Amino acid sequence: MLDGLFSRSNQRSGDQQKALAGSIAAFATHLINNPGTLPEKVLSRIAHKHASLGITEDQYAVVYEHLFAAIAADLAEVITPEIAEAWTEVYWLMADALIKLEKDLYAMQANTKMWMPWRVTNKEPAGTDAMTFTLEPADQTPVTAAKPGQYVSVKVQLPDGLRQVRQYSLSGSAGTSRVFTTRLNDGGEVSTALHTGVEPGDILEISNPYGEITLKEGDGPVILASAGIGCTPTASILRSLAQTGTDRQVMVLHAEKTMENWALSGQMTADAAQIDADLKLWLETPHASASQGFMSLREVDLPADASLYLCGPLPFMKKIRDEAIHAGIPATRIHYEVFGPDVWLAS
């Protein structure tokens, strides 16, 4: 029932299992520290991930069965009936909350389908090891409009026949267009299949757009901070700001190994220039137009009352989030997107 929905590489590394256990533990900790309330931010993030995979109510029973069988086997010496009953209650409290959120998300779609055929109309290199795919609808299914910063799930068939799913941030315009950029990952099955086996004219199955890390309404300053392929959701947000001709103060911060590695350099540079955004780049190798080394907010004069949108490798996001809080940006105005299983679960 769940074959292909979750990354085999993440399961082999243990990240998927850590994310599941961590989310339940975070939920339980919140219930202890905040009786009578739910961790809405954590639940929303998980619900959007689940909705993009088409998770249904009956699948929670399948996960429960296998999860608690594994717990019972691994911790047989310490698990008492009372402990097992307590964790069962926590699991189903969390599951019930997620099921409700996911039903609400499904109801907001422009259609009742999970997977829709989209035709690849263009495939072009983006930097030294990334590829941008542009798609158009391949049938008459109503298209759900995407918000800047959201992602879609993409399903591809692997050589062994498994139809594996992976989530990719939309990197171009929001609305009813579909453009995503993916970096070729070592050991990544879906990125390899996309880069080497998909060509213009091919049909891909993709989901409706999801993701709660989207551009919030308002007129305050916006900081977009990214590293590596984490620039994809921030590029979508930046494009939206450029297309609307925003008069908000915008700061674009990006870190990369080399200038050639920056997957969306042309798009982001042009969009930043269009709205006179402050663009600052950090590169590990020397370059005349960039600072050398790793990004640090201590090198930047941050605007007051700014909202920070953050995406990149986990160590990068932890560092930048800590620096942002130290600089006076409240945690409530720091929005981050995790690619793959969320093993951070920051509040």
Q: CA 342 to CA 45: how far, in whole Å?
A: 9
In sequence order, what are the residues at sequence separation of 6 or more whose Cβ sits closer than 8 angstroms to the Cβ of residue 261?
127, 128, 129, 228
DSSP for 35-64 reads TT---HHHHHHHHHHHHHHT--TTHHHHHH
Instruction: Report yes or no: 141 and 205 within 8 Å, Cβ to Cβ.
Output: no
Tokens matching residue 218? 């308002």
Catalytic one of 60, 91, 151, 309: 60
Identify which of 269, 265, 262 has the alpha carbon closest to the alpha carbon of residue 285.
Answer: 262
Catalytic one of 91, 102, 189, 210: 102
CA separation, residue 64 to residues 29, 57, 83, 194 (Å): 19, 12, 15, 33
Cβ-based neighbour number of residue 110 at 10 Å: 12
Identify which of 275, 276, 282 has the alpha carbon closest to the alpha carbon of residue 300.
Answer: 282
Identify which of 241, 263, 266 has the alpha carbon closest to the alpha carbon of residue 312.
Answer: 263
Range 16-22, long-range pairs (CB < 8 A, 24+ positions)? 16/341, 18/341, 18/343, 19/341, 19/342, 19/343, 20/63, 20/67, 20/341, 22/342, 22/343, 22/345
Instruction: Report yes or no: 307 and 221 within 8 Å, Cβ to Cβ.
Output: yes
Clarify whether 40 is annotated catalytic: no
Q: CA 142 to CA 116: how far, in whole Å?
A: 10
Residue that is written with structure tokens 């829709």 in the block? 116
Instruction: Report yes or no: 341 and 15 within 8 Å, Cβ to Cβ.
Output: yes
Q: CA 329 to CA 138: how far, in whole Å?
A: 44
287: left (phi over 0), alpha (psi -120 to 50) or beta: beta
Paired sense of beta strands 307-311 and 334-337, if any: parallel
Clarify whether 60 is annotated catalytic: yes
Catalytic residue ranges: 60, 102
